[in-house]
Amino acid sequence: LSIRRQRQMCIRDSDKTGTITLGNRLAVSFIPVDGHTEQELAEAARLASLADETPEGRSIVQLANSLFPQNGTISPEKDTVFVPFSAHTRMSGVDARSSSIRKGAADAVRAFAEQLGGRLSTQCDEVVQSIARQGGTPLVVARDAAVLGVIHLKDVIKDGVREKFGELRRMGIRTVMITGDNPLTAAAIAAEAGVDDFL
């Protein structure tokens, strides 16, 4: 085989986490539903995340503070109890005297709201599905029975990755991303990063 043909047959495998993405999903937007405001959603998400030391939780607080700096002065009520995330509930949040806030997987927050007489609307379902189709992670936020909206968590592509893969492609080297993510997420990240294929 010629050197050119050998190059065309080369494949470069890359792990998604750590190689292509930063490795943590970060909050990129608050999407309110059912007449609630972005500020209302951001304030609730921030309060529910103050005790969340995960990168995702810290990014929610940072995004809320950057969009609405005045919310940063709002402190939790006295005797507020922070509810940590668990694999069983798939939610976290806060319980205060005036209200309870939860953020988490759509079906888990749906059950929480329904127990209090609320519901997850068609509009909220559509936002959740739209984020999932983009390869993101939707976290639904509810304050008591009211579902306020959805936090969009996104895998962040490392700077310069797309350009590097473009250079490899010009050399005749295909890149294949190896990931355990679901196909929708994998496809979205592969497209954004400029990867040729994914497994």
Mind telling me the catalytic residues?
15
Which residue type is seen at 103? K
Cβ–Cβ under 8 Å, residues 142 and 107: no
Of the candidates 141, 40, 47, the one whose C-alpha atom is nearest the C-alpha of residue 91 is 141
If residue 191 lies in a helix (H) or strand (E), which one and from where to where? helix 183-193
Dihedral pair phi/psi, residue 75, rounded to 5°: -100, 155
Which residue type is seen at 143? R
Cβ–Cβ under 8 Å, residues 143 and 99: yes
Q: Report the distance separating Cα 86 and Cα 108, nearest Å.
A: 11
Dihedral pair phi/psi, residue 5, rounded to 5°: -65, -40
Cβ–Cβ under 8 Å, residues 102 and 49: no
